[in-house]
Amino acid sequence: MAHTTDWLEDVATLMDVDLGIGVKAPAVPAAGEFAIFVDGRDKDRQNNLIQLIRTSSPQDEDIAEEHDRAFQVLVTGDKQKPGPAILKAEEIYDKLHTQVGLQATGGRKFAVFMAQQSPSVIGKDENENFMASFNFVTKYREEVS
């Protein structure tokens, strides 16, 4: 069956519903929880963000083909210290890196997730919040109905 959701939206759902890493927007997380955004963010939310950003250009998605996709995980913590950002980035790394056969609720089954490097603090954003980042490659196969 071909999926009607975007592959990166399925990654966000997997991180929210299936792995409990954060809360996928537009849902509003409780205090202290991280919000997950795909290809952007809510400008009103300034900290405790997980942004999933495409780093590979879309390829032809012929049914019954495997697809490699790359994305950046950008975690924004708080102004006080880099700890919350890097700890959340490491949690994501630990729950996804080298995992095989993860499936998003109602979405795609991903063959594998491979981190291209370990998470690291990359500096501060425009609001002086610490940020951590790393990149993933994932592979999925569209199912034929």
pLDDT tens-digit profile of 53-89? 988 765 444 443 567 888 999 999 999 899 999 999 9
pLDDT at 142: 61
How far are the Cα atoms of 14, 43, 51, 128 from residue 46, in angstroms, in the given order? 23, 7, 12, 10
Report the candidate in 66, 41, 13 with the shortest Cα–Cα distance to residue 126: 41
> What does the alpha-carbon distance between residue 48 and residue 72 come to, in Å, rounded to a whole number?
16
93, 118 in Cβ contact below 8 A? yes
Is the pTM higher than 0.75? yes
Compute how many other C-beta atoms are within 10 angstroms of the C-beta atom of residue 106.
11
pLDDT along the chain (145 residues), means of 10: 74 93 90 89 82 74 60 93 93 93 87 92 93 91 54
Q: Alpha-carbon distance 43 to 33, whole Å? A: 17
| pLDDT (0 to 100) of residue 39 | 85
Q: In sequence order, which residues have a C-beta less than 8 Å from that of residue 45 and are 6 or more positions away?
A: 35
Instruction: Record the tokens describing residue 87, joined without a space.
Output: 């700890």
Confidence at residue 37, expressed as pLDDT on a 0 to 100 scale: 92
Give me the domains of the chain, ranges plus CATH numbers.
7-141 (3.30.2000.30)
Peptide bond into 26 cis (omega under 30): yes
Are 75 and 88 in contact, with CB atoms under 8 Å apart? yes
Per-residue pLDDT, 134: 95
